[in-house]
């Protein structure tokens, strides 16, 4: 029995399979979809252009048995300029890998985040701020967000002076024995990235230095929560910045 499906989304993973095929993952508004693309490693393949990383595509898939097979499609936006920037490749790689590693369920909110990250990388906003927002929202979705409303030890909302990923959020002055005191800017930023809603992702730019510090801290936190999976792009972030 054949089942046809038309889907629109971003190619976020492509792995060579056997000699000439690829197993490809698409991120759409409905979630993740993995399919097989036959013969795409041959230079004569007409389907190869449909599975380039970070392209925005409309694909026709046919269900054969348990698997979807790519049969046709259109490139809506190739986003090929992304390949010219190491920053862009690294940030998109990191967020794609984080979605695939840390999330069991991917819904439209993740698609909106990724779509906004592509827009940011294409010049509409600061890509490091948007990457940090993506990671914060991924950790919330994964069930490892921070409590940024009150002290996690005594529930006081007053005199918040520190943040602990290990304890799960903010800490007040009375409870901060041994915890490093943080600047107001740092604490406000942590609260902002965990709280900001979809309509306001592009409203506030965070300094590159602070964005990178928090990206690394959230990655370390997620990695710890998931028993240290090997993230290629996490190593790359640590080496680059």
Give the integer Cα–Cα distance in Å for 99 and 111: 10
Give the integer Cα–Cα distance in Å for 89 and 82: 6
Residues 96-125 that bind Zn ion (CB under 5 A): none
Looking at beta carbons only, is 60 or 149 nearer to Zn ion?
149
Looking at beta carbons only, is 154 or 240 nearer to Zn ion?
154
Looking at beta carbons only, is 127 or 169 nearer to Zn ion?
169
Looking at beta carbons only, is 5 or 158 nearer to Zn ion?
158
| Partners of residue 3 on adjacent β-strands | 63
Looking at beta carbons only, is 63 or 153 nearer to Zn ion?
153
The least CB distance from residue 174 to Zn ion, in Å, is 5
175 interacts with Zn ion by CB under 5 A: yes
Helix, strand, coil fractions of the chain, as percent rounded to 5: 45, 25, 30
Tokens of 117: 């990250």
153 interacts with Zn ion by CB under 5 A: yes
Q: Is 202 strand, coil or helix?
A: coil
Applying CB under 5 A, which of residues 86, 154, 158, 240 lies at the interface with Zn ion?
Answer: 154
Alpha carbon distance, N-terminus to C-terminus of the chain: 51
The least CB distance from residue 148 to Zn ion, in Å, is 14
Give the integer Cα–Cα distance in Å for 144 and 37: 35
The least CB distance from residue 184 to Zn ion, in Å, is 17
152 interacts with Zn ion by CB under 5 A: no
Under DSSP, the state recorded for 117 is: H
158 interacts with Zn ion by CB under 5 A: no
**Number of separate helices (H) and strands (E) present in the chain:** 6, 7
- What residue ranges bind Zn ion (CB under 5 A)? 151, 153-154, 156, 172, 175
């Amino acid at each position: 029995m054949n089942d046809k499906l038309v889907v629109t989304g971003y190619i976020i993973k492509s792995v060579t399979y056997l000699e000439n095929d690829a197993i490809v993952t698409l991120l759409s508004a409905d979630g993740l979809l993995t399919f097989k693309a036959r013969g795409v490693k041959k230079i004569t393949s007409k389907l190869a252009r449909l599975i380039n990383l970070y392209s925005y595509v409309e694909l026709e898939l046919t269900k054969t048995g348990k698997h979807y097979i790519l049969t046709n499609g259109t490139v809506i936006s190739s986003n090929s300029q992304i390949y010219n920037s190491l920053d862009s490749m690294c940030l998109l790689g990191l967020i794609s890998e984080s979605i695939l590693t840390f999330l069991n369920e991917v819904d439209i909110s993740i698609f909106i985040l990724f779509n906004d990250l592509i827009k940011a990388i294409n010049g509409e906003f600061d890509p490091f701020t948007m990457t940090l927002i993506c990671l914060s929202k991924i950790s919330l979705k994964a069930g490892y967000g921070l409590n940024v409303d009150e002290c996690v030890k005594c529930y006081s909302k007053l005199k918040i002076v520190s943040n602990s990923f290990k304890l799960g959020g903010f800490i007040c002055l009375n409870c901060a024995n041994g915890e490093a005191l943080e600047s107001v800017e740092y604490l406000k930023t942590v609260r902002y990235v965990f709280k900001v809603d979809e309509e306001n992702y592009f409203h506030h730019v965070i300094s590159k230095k602070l964005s990178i510090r928090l990206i690394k801290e959230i990655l370390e936190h997620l990695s710890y929560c998931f028993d240290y999976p090997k993230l290629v792009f996490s190593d790359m972030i640590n080496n680059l910045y």
